[in-house]
Amino acid sequence: MIKRLLGRTGLEISIIGFGGIPIQRLDKESAVILIEELYKQGINFIDTARGYTTSEELIGHGLKKIGRDKFILATKSMSRDYESMKRDIQISLNNLKTDYIELYQVHNVRTEEEYSKILSEDGALKALLEAKEKGSIKHIGITSHDLNIIEKGAESGHFSTIQFPYNPVERQAEELFKRAKELGLGVIVMKPLAGGAIINKELSLRFVLENNNISVAIPGMDSVEQIITNSKLGIEYRSLNDEERAIILSEAKELGSEFCRRCGYCAPCPQRIDIPVQFLMEGYYTRYNLKDWAKERYLSMENKAVDCIECGICETRCPYDLPIRRMLKKVAYNLG
């Protein structure tokens, strides 16, 4: 597996890392098998979060069996104040069954107010710096879906890494990534497959890896087959040819900017609608010529787009500020 430096941390990490969101769907035994496969395939970077329900715990079981020293761990917390972050760091250490974590990140910073709180006298950064001094974390990072926030974090001097979406559709951070490399920051790419919206997954990952300003791409994986497939791209890496580039950029153009990345932050819906799945089915219906199959799947759901009461709670949670209520109306129109 090809490795790159995670900025000034000095850590050498595989260019394909493990995104820890989907593992929460698995049981303990399956999760351990997944972590074993990561090691076999040469993936040494694991990214998870306190907010991914059982993800940290399941990864912890795998680490206990395979060996803590085989991996470089990154996790993150939504805590913004000192006490909450201090508590979350300890929970992460316990869940991951370790006494140190290489990278601890402030997770999904959305507003200037949140950013200021993190850096305040009683903010989360104070707890992270204390943990770093004690050796329980080694480096501090920041993640966001807001370009202005992540730019501010990059220039602040407080963080060693940034994590931001990047794929053939979402390229707004390319200049920032150049600047981050100049500053010695590690660049972690989330959503390299646009949250699963991109069909040509191999081409999308290869597109991301062509950017030498990034350190690692972290697609979410929940099967051995996915790990083997994605790892191969980091082992036998090759640039896109002209034909492949045209294919992936054409798909990106078709997706546009108003689409669901299936991050799941909109959940839970009071009407128990699986919102990302609604948009997934509509994508199959409108873009991929699977009209009958998609409509049958949609109509078989107990709770679907047509059941939306337009409370708007989902929109307050969406990191991309998508007009979810309007988008669900479109799903109901096409599939209902």
* Cα-based torsion angle of the residue sequence 254, 256, 258, 264 in order, rounded to the nearest 10 degrees: 70
SS3 333: helix
pLDDT value, residue 265: 86
Phi then psi for residue 13, to 5 deg, are -125, 150
* Cα-based torsion angle of the residue sequence 272, 273, 276, 281 in order, rounded to the nearest 10 degrees: 140
* Cα-based torsion angle of the residue sequence 313, 314, 318, 320 in order, rounded to the nearest 10 degrees: -110
189 DSSP β-pair partners: 164, 217
Greatest CA separation for the chain: 59
Tokens of 57: 């715990």
Q: How many CB atoms lie under 10 A from the CB of residue 59?
A: 29
Q: Which of 276, 274, 328 is nearest to 306 (CA)?
A: 328
Residue pair 145/114 in contact (Cβ under 8 Å)? The answer is: no
DSSP annotation string for 116-145: HHHHSTTBHHHHHHHHHHHTSEEEEEEE-S
pLDDT value, residue 281: 87
pLDDT value, residue 288: 63
Q: How many CB atoms lie under 10 A from the CB of residue 247?
A: 15
* CATH T-level fold of 3-249: TIM Barrel (3.20.20)
* Cα-based torsion angle of the residue sequence 29, 32, 36, 39 in order, rounded to the nearest 10 degrees: 160
Tokens of 107: 């997770």
Q: Which of 194, 245, 186 is nearest to 214 (CA)?
A: 186
pLDDT value, residue 262: 77
Q: Which of 55, 101, 59, 104 is nearest to 78 (CA)?
A: 104
Name the segment(s) of the chain with CATH classification 3.20.20.100: 3-249
pLDDT value, residue 38: 98
Distance CA 305, CA 323 (A): 14
Q: Which of 327, 306, 310 is nearest to 256 (CA)?
A: 327
Strands (E), 48-130: 72-77, 101-106
Could you list the mean pLDDT of each consecutive 10-residue stretch along the chain, which spans 336 residues? 97 97 92 98 97 95 96 98 98 98 96 96 98 98 94 98 95 96 97 88 97 96 96 95 97 85 88 92 78 89 96 93 95 92
Residue pair 219/192 in contact (Cβ under 8 Å)? The answer is: yes
Strands (E), the chain: 3-5, 12-14, 18-19, 45-47, 72-77, 101-106, 137-143, 161-165, 186-190, 216-217
Phi then psi for residue 39, to 5 deg, are -65, -45
